[in-house]
Every structure is written in C-alpha cells, then in structure tokens.
Structure 1
Amino acid sequence: MPRLSFKGKVFVENHHLAVPFHELVPVRDKGLSEKASLHDNLIIHGDNLAALKSLLPTYHGKVKCVYIDPPYNTGKEGWAYNDKVNSPLMQDWLGRVVDRDDLTRHDKWCCMMVPRLKLLREMLSEDGVIFVSIDDNEVHHLRCLMDEVFGEDNRVGQIIWHGSTDNNPTNIATEHEYIVCYAADRQALEEVWKSASFGPKAALERIGAELLEAHPEPEERQREYSRWLKEHKAQVKPLDRYKFIDEGGVFTGSQSVHNPGREGYRYDVIHPVTGRPCKQPLMGYRFPESTMDRLLEEDRVIFGADESKIIELKVYVEDYEAKLGSVIAGIDSRRGANEIREIFPEDPQVFKNPKPSTLIGELLSFATDPDSIVLDSFAGSGTTGHAVLAQNAADGGSRRFILVECEDYADSLTAERMRRVIEGIPDANDDALKAGLGGTFSYFELGRPMRQESLLDGSNLPPWEKLASYVFFTATGQEFDPAETDRETGFVGHTGSHDVFLIYEPDMEKLKSLALSLPVARALPAGSRRKLVFAPTKYLDPEFLHQYRIDFQQLPFQIYEAIERLER
C-alpha cells in the first residue's frame, strides 16, 4: 500500500501513546444533570487530543459512530498547530496560525490529524464507523492517512454532499464537499445500511398525520397535501415522488406488479370507472389473482384515468427504508446557518459555516442503533449533539453524544446550544425546537495531567485519597466522589458492575506488609456484586478469588520504586 510522507510524520506516528491522561473535572452548573457522570451525554472543554486520551478508560471500543468536521485547511480558518511533540521542528510550529502562504500547511494538517485519528480508532466498537467531513484542500491527504490508520480494506466509501450553489467566477464551480467513511472492521458491518427513520420520511409522516386530522374530506386533504409538497419538494427529496395521501397516510405508486424476466400470471383487473380490463404488464403479473383480489379489497391498487394505464400498488411512506447513497442532495448548506439564527437570534453570526443537523442526522439514521454512542471531537457549535437528540426524538432512541471542543465558546456556544434545544426555544419557528428535544448532559473541563510520577513527587507517599482518585479513574473512567469512600473497608466507589477497594497506607513499613489476604477478603462487605481490589500483593489462589467474586489489581509499580527511593 502506498504511504504518505510529510514533515514531522516520524514524530507523530506514536505521539498518541505519549499523551498523558488528564483529570476530567465536572462543572455541574454548566450541565443539565443532577450529578455529573462520564456515562451521560458529555461536553468536554479542552484540547481534543488530551480529551480523547482521557476518555479511553471509559469508552475504548464502545463508540458506534464518530463524526468529525476538522479544519479544511483552506488557509483562511485561523487554526494553529499546538501539539506538544518532542521535536525541534514541531516546537517551532506551535501557536503559529496556518495561512494560505504557509509552505508547510499540509504537513502541519497531517501531523495534527494522525494522533487524533489513531485515538478515534481506539474508541470505535468492532462494528463502529467514522465519518470525516472535508473538501478538496485535504481530501487526498485524508484518504491516504485513513488508509494507513484504519486500513484500506476498511474503507466504506466517500460521499459527495451537494449542499451549495457557487456563483463565483471560476473555471469549475465548487458546489460540494466530501464525507469520507471508514470502519473499525468492515467485515463486522451490516451488509446493507438501511434507514427507517430519516429527515424527509419523518417530515412526510408528520404532515400526513396533521392533514388526516385536519381534513377528513379526501379531495380537500389531497389538495392541501399537493400544495404542501409543491412548497417543500426540494427539502423532501428523494421522497418527492410520494404525491398522494389517503386514510393510510402519504403514499406513492410502485410498478412492482410486473413479473421480471419471464411469463407471469394472466388475468383481468377491471377499471372501476370504465368497467374495462386494465392494460397488463408485458410479462404478466408477478403474483396470482388471489393476491390481487386481496390488494383490491385492502385498497392498495392505484388505477390510471382509464384502462390504458397499467395499475400500480400503493407504497406508504411509513414502509420506506432508505439506502445511504454516494451523493447527498437536497440538504442545503445554508440550513446550518438558519438553525444557528433560530437558536441564537440575539447573535445569528455566532458561528461560521455550521453543518446542518439534518446532514449529520441522515448519517446517524443509517450508521447507528437506538442505543449507540456518537462522538465528535471537533464539536464547534454542537451540531452533532443536536442531531443525536433529534434522531432520538424521531425514532425513540437513547443514543448518547460526546462532544469535545477546545475553544473558549465550549460553554457559551456548544453547551448553550444543547441547553436550548433540550429545554426548548419559545420563539422558534420549528415546532421541535419550540417544544425542546429533551435530554441531559454533563459538562467537564480538562484538568491536570494524571501522571503517576505526579503522585510521587514529594518526600512522602501519596495520601490514600489521592491514590484512590487515580486508580479509580484510570480503572473505571468515572468521576471520583470522596464522599462515597470508606477508609475502614478501603471502599473507593462503585461502577455499573464492580465495587472498587484500595488496600493501601501511605506508610512505608505498613505498605510492605499489606496484602489481599484471607482475613482481608472475608472482611470486605458482603454482596453479590463483583469487587475490584487494588493492593500491593495477594495471598489468595484463583479459585478463592472466583468464589468470592474478587478481581485483583496490583498497585502501580512506581509506588515500589518510590519506597526504595525514600528508604535511601
């Protein structure tokens, strides 16, 4: 496989391994949850590389769908390379805005992307996928990078999003962007992605229900629906062929009565107005007369103006399952800006070039399950979170989002958008925004690096609480709550499956003799839950540990190095 070469590559290929874990510090008054939790919807303010590394203990292999919209590297975006890589060349890049005339701008972009793509790959579940929005400036480099990181056999495809009209004077008008898709393991994906719930279908179902309630008279109902469809035809593509409505809902006609390739069934279907037999398909009907009688009885047959037209069958929009095509049209890029104006009427220019939530929602409707986790580490205005909540509202799902944003507007824009779309915007024109999509989220700030050496940088061993916080977070990824601890039993906290204990004293002599022994094990609180026990060592065999539902984990090796240092 050809490989892409660029300045700095040798220094960034394994940089993600050197990035330290950081504390994720909850800021409760910025979220919408009573208790902050890393298992809630998440908004994390901080460098996305460090945040991704810090999420690994909790979300490694659990994310079904990643969507990111990184800088397109047009030279006009004002982004700067800020990864602290141990290289004189790259130290010189730090903090310098990448502009159009920067001869290393493509190198910097590739160096920025590589470690992030590698951590995002670690986040994906076995059947997970990643979508990356990009344009002509870097799509060729992105494809090469993703071939290397994910493997070219895991390339799912490349989508063209036709979202704009370019009226600028140029040789070739650019009216599209790309969405590149790769899988963690393409063999684990469903053979065909289909969606029973995506934007156009939901819109047709909604207007159908409204007109059925408001207009019981069939002809008036059809007139109102035809008027609505003419007005919204561009927005409901490719379902604009669903031109009819009856008591069963919105429908279209299908010529699936034809028998393909060989002689089928022959019988007469009488036109209800002319009383004459309707024209038959060239190869006859594909099902027997008894099936046709049932379809006629169920009012599932569409007749033409007279018998000269072959009959069609009603296909209701509720039965429609879309396929994700290589071209997405009908979602205007201006919709994203319109959404921002409706959500932030006091500052409609608060964010430039946001993606429409319907675009991301369409991807989610194909690539996620109702309980999937969706991650966006270039969160921007929070469009991905909005799309997740909207998709849940559309199909009753319980998807969760993880949004990471490094800029200072993580609270005032990203989180504020989530607050407004969750709680509702009274003056919004959109009914869903007006009512609110519901949900919660927890807000976290990226804290200090969680280095083992930082626990041991003084003349004493770390206190019990500090070590408890470290081992609990690195083992579970959950927020440490000192109020839940019990020093007498060593209880640190609990996860969904385990109670966590720490057998430790910040005393060199005591630490030498501490162990998970038979008396200690029997003294642990009783219960059916498994117990994760951190201790210097253990004096129990595997059979006993299995019987008492205990998982043993030895304390970090650096603790013992510190003992030797302090004893010298």
Structure 2
Amino acid sequence: MTELNFKGKEFVYNHHLAVPFRPLVPHADKGIGPVSLDGNLIIHGDNLHALKALLPLYAGKVDCVYIDPPYNTGKSDWSYNDQVNSPMIKEWLNSNPITVDDTLRHDKWACMMWPRLQLLRELMKPGAVIFASIDDNEVALFKHLLHAVFGDNNSPQTNPHLGTIVWKNATDNNPTNIATEHEYIHVFCLQRGDVVPIWNSPWSDLKEHLLVKESDLLGQNLSAEQLSEKYANWFRQHKSQLGPLQEYNQIDSGGIFTASRSVHNPGREGYRWDLMNPKTGKLVPQPLMGYRFPEETRDELLAQDRIIFSDDPDQLIRIKIYLKDYKEKMPGIVEIDGRRGANELKKIFPESKQAFKNPKTFTLIEWLLSFTAGPDAVVLDSFAGSGTTAHAVMKLNQRDGGNRRFILVECEDYADHLTAERVRRLIKGVPASKDDEYRSGLGGKFTYCTLGDPVELDKVLSGETLPPYAGLGAALFHMATNRALEPAAVREDDFYLGATEGQHVWLIYKPDLEWLKTPEAALTLSRAKAFAATDPDRRHLVFAPARYVSQKMLAEHNIPVEFVPLPFALYRIDRS
C-alpha cells in the first residue's frame, strides 16, 4: 500500500506513546448510581489524554467504536492543541484556530487524528469494528489514515476496510450547483482475518417472541395463504421493533418462518445442472445465467430440506433460510433525515431553543450498533458531543434487553451540562417533555469522571505527584502486563492489583509521602513469602518504593517474587 505522508507526521507518529497516564477521577454527585469504572462512563477531558487514561482499564476490551470528529470544513473554529515538542507544531499553534484559508488545515487535521486513532486501536479487541463519520472535506484523507492505522488491503480476507456507508441525511450544505445530501461512515475492523466481526441478526434477539406469535397463528388451523398474510400483517405492525430487517413472507409446511431468495445468477455464467420438481414431476427451469452453486451444494441443500419447490412448473427454485441462521447484511446506503437529531434533543431539553448545533440522530447510531454491538458490548465514542451514542446504546438495550455499556469522552465545557445532562434526563425522564417516550425515563446508571494529574513515577517519592492507589495501580498493571486492569480484582488493603495467566501483580503504595518513607512501604522477606503463599505456582511481580530483601535471597528461598523499584518502573519492565 502507498505510504501516507502529511506535514508533521514525523512528530506525531509516536506521540500517543509520550502522552502521560492520567487517572480517572470519579465525581459521584454528577453521575447516577454507585461509582463504577467498569460501567457506563462519561469523561470530561481532552480525548487524547482520556483515551490514554482508559488504556489501563480497557485495553483490548472495546467491542465497537463510533466517532464523529471535526469535519474540518473551515467554517468551525477547531484548533490543533496537542502538546507536541517541535518548532513546526508550535508555529501552527500560534496560527489557530484553523479556517478554510489555512493551506495546511488538512495536514493539521491528520496530525490531530493520528495519535487518537492509534489509542483507539489499542483499546479495541480483535474483531472490533470502528464506525467513523465524515463528509466530503476529509473523506479521502480519513480513509487513508484508517488504513495506515488498521492495516493495508492486500486481500479481501484481511482488508480491515469493511466498507463505506453513504448516509443520505436530506440536508444540502453545498454552495455549488450540485446538492450535497449525504455524508460517509467508514467502517474498519481490527485484525480481520484472525477474527470475523460479529454481524448480529436482530432475528436472534426476537426469536422467542416470533415463535410465540407463530404458535398463536398456527393454532388457528389457517391455510398457507392465510398464514402468510397474517404474518405479513404482523410484520408491518412490529417492523419498528425489528430494526434493519428485510421483509419475509415465506412459511414452509412445518410452520417455521423462512426467507425465500431466488438462486439465479445474473451478470455471469453459473453452474448448469438438472433438478426434478417433486410437486410437478418436471425439471425445474434453468436460470438464464445458470445456478450460482455446484451440484454438490445442491445435494447438501436437498438433504437439509433447504430448497423450496413451487406448484408452478415455470418457477425457479428458492432457498429456505431459517431465522436462527439468518444474518442481515448491512446496506451500503442508509437514508435517515439528519434533522431528526435536533428534534430529539429538543424533546430532551424543551427549555432550550438550540441545545447543540447539528447533533446526530440516535437512530443512525442505533442502526449501526444493531449490526455489530452484541448484548454485552462495550461501545466507545471519544468525540461525544451531545451524547447521541449513549442515547443509541440505551435505546438498543431497551429494544432487545441487552446490557451494552457506553464510554463517552467530551473535552468541551458542556460535557457536564449537556452531554451528561442528556443521559441523566434519559435515565430519570423529562417531566416537561411533550413526548411520552421521554417523560417516563429509561432507567440506568453512569459514572462521571474528569482526568487527574499525570502519573509521573519519577516524582512520586519526591512528593510532587501522589496519584491515588487505583490510578497508579492501573497504569503500572498495564505497563507490566500489557493487559487492562480489572477493578473488581483490586484489593487495596492487601496491596494486590490483579493477575494474568502467568503472574500476580502487587503494589505497595499509599498516596502519603511520610508513609512511603517508612519501612512499611518496603518489600520484606516476610511480605514476599506472604505474597507468594497466595499462589506458589505463579510468579509474583511487586512494585514498591524500597526493599529489605535481595533478589538473590528470594531465589535462595525459592520464593517466586520479583521486585520492581517504583520510581524506575517505567524503565525496568520488559514489554517484549
């Protein structure tokens, strides 16, 4: 693949590695329910730092990402503000905000997105999908950036680019004579080829309800035609609950709902073979361009009772698809009126004339998530805006009974009074709303966080920075294991952080400078024995400010404990 170059790339290429860890600081009074860093989160802070703060807890755990970054139209005043130590970047900072007249605005936009995409990639699990909204201004550059981060396109099996969706949003912002009534959503997958992305079938979530309905219908001793008509009527009444499904009206003799699809293969020459129709006693007519599968597949389908024959001798065969096997294919074009977002927000904030400029409609994001976010998925949006992604996750959970979690990051001052307030109102209800749907509330909980001071290990013992135990522990655990910390496993009173397959990790620490200078903060022989006794068959890694036992003595006593001096932990851990 041709290498992507842009001015400033050499300075931001590894900038995500230099961003310091900053602990998440919960604000219980601004959330709903008990504080929980492994539940729904809304984080107020620069998304570059927030994404780095999430790594110790969520590295490799995110199932689905939706981002709606600045479109770089030149009309809005976004600024490149990452603290990159280079004369060129500093010169750029002096020329902010970025406008349409800035000849380097595309390079600056790429510099802004590059480290954020790198951190998003680290947070995603193999097979996770990212949806990235954009318009004509950066659609080409954005695709190249995503390819540079997620991989090239050497083959259809490994190409991380799953496709680009055209969103027809019924707005025209183009001053030329060509109406622009669409935007784009790039869809990429992490490590495609090793893990196949999960494309959910909404049928599977509704299967029990459908079977109950089917049982009611079949109990009426209706003819096949009457049954088909009743099912079609039921479908029309419940279509809004089913999400992005096609309409199916074929029901086989056993009463199982199936999808009927023609098997002719227009556009290219297919396979030629004969098949007797048992209903007519005649050969099924040959499709003009031949069948799309060979005789071996035909015989398998016959053995599985997957071929539907017709009483009409001129009818081509059709394939039966059971609901449990059906997988919906995501359309490449979706038409959802973008103006719905403003109307939705108005119902939640009836006292405000315009709570947020150009909000996305939650219907769009809910539609995207319905294909890729399973019932227990973690969904991340690092350009949260008005909180539309949280709205979509909550509505999707309401629809199918799922337990998806959302993580929102917003850097602007409205993170509390708009982004989080929208979620508060969705949970509790909006008494002043004229819409019944919003008056009652959806229920739920979330934790509101800001970002603490950077965790700088070389300043801990000097007392310049004393991060909380959980913040420092999460950073150290991630550095030592390249895994995310499980908050539920932490036992602060025992100085225990957690475990991986081969080792346990401990941290002897309190955010108290005087205590850190006492013998209580050191690794001793008795403490090493106590740590090892919890699991003698595994290695134990212990972070501590000091030790009163040598590594040689630990080895002589066959104690599988390794000491890592706290101030120098960053430089002593082998990540290979």
SS in 1 for 2:528: helix
The number of residues matched between the two structures is 532
| d(CA) in 2 for partners of 1:240, 1:64 | 26
Change in 2 beyond 3 A, CA 1:470/1:378? closer
The answer to whether structure 1 residue 408 and structure 2 residue 413 are counterparts is: yes
Give the CA deviation at 1:289.
13
SS in 2 for 1:186: coil
| d(CA) in 2 for partners of 1:545, 1:174 | 74
SS in 1 for 2:406: strand
The answer to whether structure 1 residue 137 and structure 2 residue 130 are counterparts is: no
| d(CA) in 1 for partners of 2:79, 2:264 | 60
Change in 2 beyond 3 A, CA 1:262/1:435? farther
SS in 1 for 2:523: coil
Give the CA deviation at 1:86.
2.0
Letter in 1 for 2:379: V
Give the CA deviation at 1:523.
4.9
| d(CA) in 2 for partners of 1:185, 1:559 | 28
> Superposed, which structure 2 residues align to 1:351-500 within 5 Å?
351-423=356-428, 437-455=442-460, 468=469, 471-476=472-477, 486=493, 491-492=494-495, 494-495=497-498, 500=506
Offset from partner CA, 1:356-394 (integer Å, 9 cap, x none): 334333433444444333221111122222333344445
| d(CA) in 1 for partners of 2:554, 2:416 | 51
Letter in 2 for 1:266: M
> Superposed, which structure 2 residues align to 1:232-243 within 5 Å?
239-242=245-248
SS in 1 for 2:113: helix
1:22–1:447 Cα contact (<8 Å) kept: yes
Which residue of the partner structure matches residue 480 of structure 2?
none
| d(CA) in 2 for partners of 1:152, 1:323 | 23
Q: RMSD of aligned C-alpha atoms? A: 5.0
> Superposed, which structure 2 residues align to 1:86-165 within 5 Å?
86-94=85-93, 96-153=96-153, 154-165=159-170
| d(CA) in 2 for partners of 1:346, 1:513 | 57
| d(CA) in 2 for partners of 1:509, 1:312 | 75
Give the CA deviation at 1:319.
5.3
Offset from partner CA, 1:518-563 (integer Å, 9 cap, x none): 3232355975698653233453569979987756433222999xxx
Offset from partner CA, 1:393-414 (integer Å, 9 cap, x none): 4555443322110011212222
Change in 2 beyond 3 A, CA 1:23/1:90? same
| d(CA) in 2 for partners of 1:331, 1:319 | 28
Change in 2 beyond 3 A, CA 1:166/1:384? closer
Which residue of the partner structure matches residue 176 of structure 1?
182
| d(CA) in 2 for partners of 1:452, 1:421 | 41
2:44–2:409 Cα contact (<8 Å) kept: yes
Give the CA deviation at 1:444.
0.5
2:114–2:145 Cα contact (<8 Å) kept: yes
Which residue of the partner structure matches residue 59 of structure 1?
58
| d(CA) in 2 for partners of 1:44, 1:261 | 57
Give the CA deviation at 1:301.
7.1
Percent identical pairs in the alignment equals 44
> Superposed, which structure 2 residues align to 1:340-355 within 5 Å?
340-347=345-352, 349-355=354-360
2:277–2:309 Cα contact (<8 Å) kept: no
SS in 2 for 1:194: coil
Letter in 2 for 1:115: P
1:146–1:152 Cα contact (<8 Å) kept: no
| d(CA) in 2 for partners of 1:509, 1:266 | 85
SS in 1 for 2:126: strand
Offset from partner CA, 1:240-295 (integer Å, 9 cap, x none): 5435799969765444699x84444425427xxxxxx8995448996799989x89
Which residue of the partner structure matches residue 40 of structure 2?
41
| d(CA) in 1 for partners of 2:286, 2:29 | 69
SS in 1 for 2:193: helix
| d(CA) in 2 for partners of 1:344, 1:524 | 54
Letter in 2 for 1:520: R
| d(CA) in 1 for partners of 2:72, 2:425 | 31
Give the CA deviation at 1:178.
1.7
1:485–1:492 Cα contact (<8 Å) kept: yes
Letter in 2 for 1:30: K
Which residue of the partner structure matches residue 344 of structure 2?
339
1:341–1:347 Cα contact (<8 Å) kept: yes
Offset from partner CA, 1:416-449 (integer Å, 9 cap, x none): 2323334456767586x67655543211011222
SS in 2 for 1:371: coil
Higher mean alpha-carbon deviation, 171-180 vs 416-425, is at 416-425
Change in 2 beyond 3 A, CA 1:386/1:513? closer
| d(CA) in 1 for partners of 2:516, 2:278 | 98
Give the CA deviation at 1:331.
3.3
| d(CA) in 2 for partners of 1:30, 1:511 | 37
> Superposed, which structure 2 residues align to 1:484-523 within 5 Å?
486=493, 491-492=494-495, 494-495=497-498, 500-502=506-508, 516-523=523-530
Higher mean alpha-carbon deviation, 391-400 vs 409-418, is at 391-400
| d(CA) in 1 for partners of 2:371, 2:50 | 27
1:278–1:311 Cα contact (<8 Å) kept: no
Letter in 1 for 2:53: S
Change in 2 beyond 3 A, CA 1:193/1:19? closer
1:16–1:116 Cα contact (<8 Å) kept: yes
Letter in 1 for 2:508: L
Change in 2 beyond 3 A, CA 1:248/1:410? farther
Give the CA deviation at 1:77.
2.4
Give the CA deviation at 1:138.
0.8
Change in 2 beyond 3 A, CA 1:341/1:224? farther
Normalised by the length of structure 2, the TM-score is 0.73
Give the CA deviation at 1:55.
1.7
Offset from partner CA, 1:313-351 (integer Å, 9 cap, x none): 7767675311234x1324333343343234333336322
| d(CA) in 2 for partners of 1:30, 1:134 | 31
1:41–1:441 Cα contact (<8 Å) kept: yes
The answer to whether structure 1 residue 72 and structure 2 residue 82 are counterparts is: no
SS in 2 for 1:195: coil
Change in 2 beyond 3 A, CA 1:354/1:456? same
| d(CA) in 2 for partners of 1:557, 1:288 | 64
SS in 1 for 2:550: coil
Normalised by the length of structure 1, the TM-score is 0.74
Change in 2 beyond 3 A, CA 1:202/1:524? closer
The answer to whether structure 1 residue 556 and structure 2 residue 562 are counterparts is: no
Give the CA deviation at 1:46.
0.5
Change in 2 beyond 3 A, CA 1:125/1:87? same
Which residue of the partner structure matches residue 279 of structure 2?
269
Give the CA deviation at 1:26.
0.6
Change in 2 beyond 3 A, CA 1:54/1:546? farther
Give the CA deviation at 1:68.
1.1
Higher mean alpha-carbon deviation, 495-504 vs 353-362, is at 495-504
| d(CA) in 2 for partners of 1:423, 1:208 | 34
Change in 2 beyond 3 A, CA 1:8/1:291? closer
Which residue of the partner structure matches residue 574 of structure 2?
none
Change in 2 beyond 3 A, CA 1:528/1:412? farther
| d(CA) in 1 for partners of 2:121, 2:36 | 23
2:170–2:337 Cα contact (<8 Å) kept: no
1:76–1:99 Cα contact (<8 Å) kept: yes
2:458–2:567 Cα contact (<8 Å) kept: no
Unpaired runs of 5+ in structure 1? 271-276, 561-568
1:161–1:329 Cα contact (<8 Å) kept: yes
> Superposed, which structure 2 residues align to 1:182-221 within 5 Å?
182-190=188-196, 194-197=199-202
2:250–2:257 Cα contact (<8 Å) kept: yes
The answer to whether structure 1 residue 324 and structure 2 residue 333 are counterparts is: no
| d(CA) in 1 for partners of 2:402, 2:516 | 55
SS in 2 for 1:323: coil
2:56–2:475 Cα contact (<8 Å) kept: yes
Give the CA deviation at 1:500.
3.6
Give the CA deviation at 1:27.
0.4
Give the CA deviation at 1:28.
0.8
